[in-house]
Amino acid sequence: MYEDYTIKPYISPDRDPNEVVKPVPKRNMEPLADGLLAGDIILLWRINFGTFTNETWYPKYFEYTYGIDGPSHLAQLLENGYAYEESAFASLDHLNSSQKKAILKERGVKGLSKMKAADLDEALAKNLSEEELGQYFTVRGIALTRKGEEALANHQEIVNRHPKKKI
C-alpha cells in the first residue's frame, strides 16, 4: 500500500491487522524542507498550547492521519532542539493545589489552608531546591524552543488544514 512513499507510515504493532482504515495521505509522509513531517508540526502545535507534558496521551490521529509514533517523534523533537522538558519549578502549573499543599505539608510548612495558588508556588520556591522539588513528582511540561516556534510558524498551512474542535 505504501510502496511509493518516501517514508513509510508508522503502524503500531498493537493495531488490529484486519482493521479497515484510510491510508495515511502521501503528503503527510513527505519530509518538509527542514526534514520534519506534517505530524511533527502538529506535535509542535500541540506543545505550543502549554498543556503538553511528558505524561500526555497521544490521539490516534498521529498514527492514522500523520503516520507517526507520537512518543518517538517527541523524543526526536527534544533531541533535535525543537522542544525541551521544563524544570520541576516550571512544571508546577501541571499540579493542582492539593498536590502542592501535600509537598509543603511534608516539609513542615504551616498556614497552608490560607494559601492561594501563587502563595503555594512562592512557598515551594522558598522551601525547596529544584532537585528537592523534582523528587516529589515526575510530570514535566514540554515547551517549544525558538527553533520549534520557527518551524511551527513556517508550516502554518499544515496546522490550518488539521481538523479543529468546535468550541
Encode pLDDT of 14-51 as tens digits. Answer: 988 888 889 999 999 999 999 999 999 999 999 999 99
pLDDT band at 148; cut points 50, 70, 90:
very high
Strand ranges for the chain from DSSP E:
83-85, 142-144
Q: Is residue 84 helix, strand or coil?
A: strand
At 21, list the grid cell. Answer: 482504515
Domain with CATH 1.10.10.10 in the chain: 26-86+140-159
Length of the chain: 167
CA distance 82 to 73: 11
The per-residue pLDDT for 163 is: 84
Fold of the 26-86+140-159 domain: Arc Repressor Mutant, subunit A (1.10.10)
User: DSSP letters along 1-35, please?
Assistant: --TT-SSPPP--TTS-TT---PPPPGGGGS--TTS
pLDDT value of residue 23: 93
Rounded CA separation 68/142 (Å): 19
> How far is it between the farthest Cα atoms of the chain?
65
Alpha-carbon span 44 to 66, nearest angstrom: 13
Mean of the pLDDT values across residues 146-167?
A: 92
Supply the DSSP symbol for 57: P
pLDDT on residue 17: 80
Look at residue 167 in the predicted model and tell me its pLDDT.
Answer: 65
Pairing of strands 142-144, 83-85: antiparallel
HSE at residue 39, side-chain half, CA atoms within 13 A, is 27
Residue type, 46: R
